[in-house]
Structure 1
Amino acid sequence: MNSIGLSPLALFLQAGVVGKGVMTLLLLVSVWSWALILQIWLSGRRLSAAVTAARGDEEAVLVAGILEAGARAQTVRVATETHADRRLRIGESMARAARALLLEAEGGLPSLAAISSTAPFVGLFGTVWGIMSSFASIADAHDTSLAVVAPGIAEALAATAIGLAAAIPASVGYNRLSAAFSRVSADLDCLVQERADRLAAAGGPAAVKEAA
């Protein structure tokens, strides 16, 4: 009876063409998901640090675009505008820049969600194919012994395991990073509101534009 190696490399080498394709795809997806997790985590850390620095009136290059959007909105004065309207307009300008920055920083989250939801099904496809191979082996050999069905079953279970290995980190990473970015978003909103209050109350020369 041929022995079945249980190491990942042995299971890969013993799999058929379709099984190898599924395993290779899932391996690449797993590496991609870990790269996305690291990239998004670092982006979140940098953005969180920048927001904290900006709220403490320290220089923060990463959120400079948001502050510049508020400064540009401050230089526009509408003759009939109240203080509340001026504050709202400045806040909206900064909020648009903040949303763009958040979208850029968390850009890989949808990909993580897609990996976590689709990788198990890709692995399931490999599982079904491995079981079909086992039945085909039984039909060819006219034998139901373990030596006949073991290679196909091993291929099927290996595809399932690799699919879960790709999906679980992506799912955990997505949930944890989403929660982290929710906190960063709340801090960023506080920064926008604080600066909008400050800029709306500040005086200084401005170009006056009449309301349309």
Structure 2
Amino acid sequence: MSNELIKFEKSINGLRSCASTVTFPHISLPRERYSRLACIWDESLPTKAATERDAEKRLCELYQTAVEQMDAYLDIQAPNSIFVSFQSHLNKRLSELRESLAACRTERSAPVVAQLQELLVSEHICQELREIHRGLKQKYSLKKERDYAAQIAYEKHDPSVFEEGLTWLVAKVFCRYGYDLFPVILNMEEDAAKQLRAYQAALHAQAAILIDNHIITPVQKKLPILRVLLRDSRTERRP
């Protein structure tokens, strides 16, 4: 067997795992204005209702940012999406395989090499994968915003706890309220990362099946013919 064919066979068998080398995306939410300390007058708010409205407004902004970042990875048209990254990587590997296969071309093997090169394309795989993607995108999404609203940590600074009588009553006027969204931010980032990892793993698992069905199995069926033709070509060249 020629060295070129051995190299090609190793490369074609490794095509199933090509998706595993695609870089995993990262979700990072802004850390600005994620809290209001109740004990700091300029940061805190005078009522619980105002505090809840402010916290939920900020949460809504953070949630939309998380959704937008996830969409950038899940949108099939986005340039840096998981799907596009996989497609680009697959096309690069297939191009390398076609070049590797070209080294096996002889006068006898040329027709079979041409047939094999026609199999080394991603169109059918990506077409079917687009349909699979639609279902996966719906399955792997972020939790509802209200689920994160329930995780907001609220705090109250009440100076009256150390007072009595009339002083206690006056101190009540100076109660202040605050909140902390930092734990929610961490949870949202972690949830988004888990969903993206799960989506990516599911997409790549389906891609491996399609690669096997559309490329590896059809190619392997033709490789015995190519081996014979290359052997015959070497025999003809011998004096």
With the length of structure 1 as denominator, give the TM-score of the two structures.
Answer: 0.40
Question: Which structure has more helix as a fraction of its residues?
Answer: 1
With the length of structure 2 as denominator, give the TM-score of the two structures.
Answer: 0.37
